[in-house]
């Protein structure tokens, strides 16, 4: 994976002087917008980070990146794992507010379940969403361009398959409650296949919770109903890698594998080692480092008073790229956390 500067350019240029700047202004909603009118040092900040789950490497890498940033810049970081439970995450958010966090970073779990309560909390403390947000709630959402990343990966897979190819596709999806990220990635990937001239039929869509272990029974189920499956698509690398182990265990040498997103280093190593004739065809860049870096930069700017909450766009996207055998060396880092 490409290595990225820990705090993005706007903060890096100012250096540590950033953390002593006076507030840029205030907004009508008071504390909820993070505009206190007072300058603060970054070392005095308490930032909460709520993560939807930690049973997939992507989310674990987000936590590690946040912890590294806290150690580097000296602010207090509180982290909680919701285990995929939207209600539990709401309880964690309320607890962190009572603990006096200055800013909340939230990797949200469910738009429908969490919107009302998080909208109320956003009036008390600034909320910055990372990876998965709730539209029109909080300061901003920093996330990958899910549909575009999926499209770029799908186009690479389609070009490998060749124009005019007809193929059956089985999809390993996120959890059933995911109605945004997964559908965007899947739609983008299939659009990429179409752009490359591939005709496809989605014969199965099975939830696997973004996790490698959950992808095993899900893949077994897909293959039992579709033994001649042409392409197993994981909406992230963790699920695609879990599905690949099933194919290998069953002696299946014909079903191809691709991921719509993530760029997990284990997947990149496979792509690199197998070369352009390998069965793991493509994935997409979805960097937890980029997302957390930018989200934390925003949190620090708001918390120190260097920027007003309303100075940020409601949605920010990280870099999008498709990755295959031809450009994998640009992204593969064996020492990467993710």
Q: Which domain holds residue 201?
A: 146-284
pLDDT of 177 reads 82
In this structure, is residue 335 part of a structural domain?
A: no
Q: What is the per-residue pLDDT for 22?
A: 30
Residues 254 and 306 in one domain: no
| Tokens found for residue 151 | 């499209």
Count of the separate structural domains present in the chain: 2
Q: In the chain, which stretches have pLDDT less than 70?
A: 1-38
- Residue 40 gets which letter from DSSP? -
Whether 331 is in a domain gets the answer no
Q: Specify whether 26 is located in the same domain as 37.
A: yes
User: Using CB atoms within 10 A of its CB, is residue 227 exposed (0-12), middle (13-18) or buried (19+)?
Assistant: exposed
User: Helix, strand or coil for residue 199?
Assistant: strand
- Let me know if residue 327 belongs to a domain: no
Q: Are residues 132 and 53 in the same domain?
A: yes
The pLDDT, as a whole number, for residue 179 is 82
Q: What is the C-alpha to C-alpha distance for residues 93 and 121, in angstroms, rounded to an integer?
A: 8
Q: Which two tokens stand for residue 8?
A: 């993005």
Q: What is the pLDDT of residue 338?
A: 83
| One domain, residues 105 and 155 | no
DSSP conformational letter for 203: E
140 & 32 share domain: yes
At residue 336, the pLDDT reads 84
């Amino acid at each position: 994976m490409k290595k990225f500067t820990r705090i993005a350019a706007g903060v890096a240029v100012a250096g540590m002087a950033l953390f002593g700047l006076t507030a840029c202004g205030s907004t009508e909603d008071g504390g909820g917008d993070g505009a206190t009118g007072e300058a603060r040092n970054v070392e005095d900040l308490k930032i909460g980070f709520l993560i939807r789950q930690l049973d997939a490497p992507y989310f674990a890498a987000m936590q590690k990146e946040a912890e590294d940033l806290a150690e580097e810049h000296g602010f207090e970081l509180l982290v909680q794992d919701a285990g995929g439970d939207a209600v539990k995450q709401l309880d964690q958010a309320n607890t962190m507010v009572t603990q006096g966090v200055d800013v909340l970073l939230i990797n949200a779990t469910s738009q429908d379940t969490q919107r009302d309560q998080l909208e109320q909390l956003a009036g008390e403390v600034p909320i910055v969403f990372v990876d998965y947000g709730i539209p029109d709630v909080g300061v901003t959402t920093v996330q990958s361009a899910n549909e575009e990343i999926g499209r770029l990966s799908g186009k690479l897979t389609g070009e490998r398959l060749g124009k005019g190819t007809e193929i059956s596709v089985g999809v390993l999806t996120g959890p059933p409650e995911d109605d945004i990220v997964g559908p965007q990635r899947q739609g983008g990937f299939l659009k990429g296949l179409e752009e490359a001239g591939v005709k496809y039929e989605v014969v199965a869509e099975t939830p696997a919770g973004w996790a490698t272990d959950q992808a095993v029974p899900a893949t077994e189920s897909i293959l039992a109903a579709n033994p001649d499956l042409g392409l197993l698509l994981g909406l992230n690398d963790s699920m695609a890698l879990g599905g690949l182990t099933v194919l290998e265990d069953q002696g299946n040498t014909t079903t191809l594998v691709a991921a719509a997103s993530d760029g997990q280093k284990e997947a990149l190593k496979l792509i690199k080692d197998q070369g352009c004739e390998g069965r793991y065809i493509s994935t997409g860049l979805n960097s937890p480092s980029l997302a957390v870096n930018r989200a934390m930069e925003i949190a620090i700017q708001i918390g120190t008073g260097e920027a007003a909450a309303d100075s940020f766009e409601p949605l920010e996207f990280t870099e999008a790229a498709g990755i295959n055998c031809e450009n994998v060396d640009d992204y593969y880092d064996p020492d990467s956390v993710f």
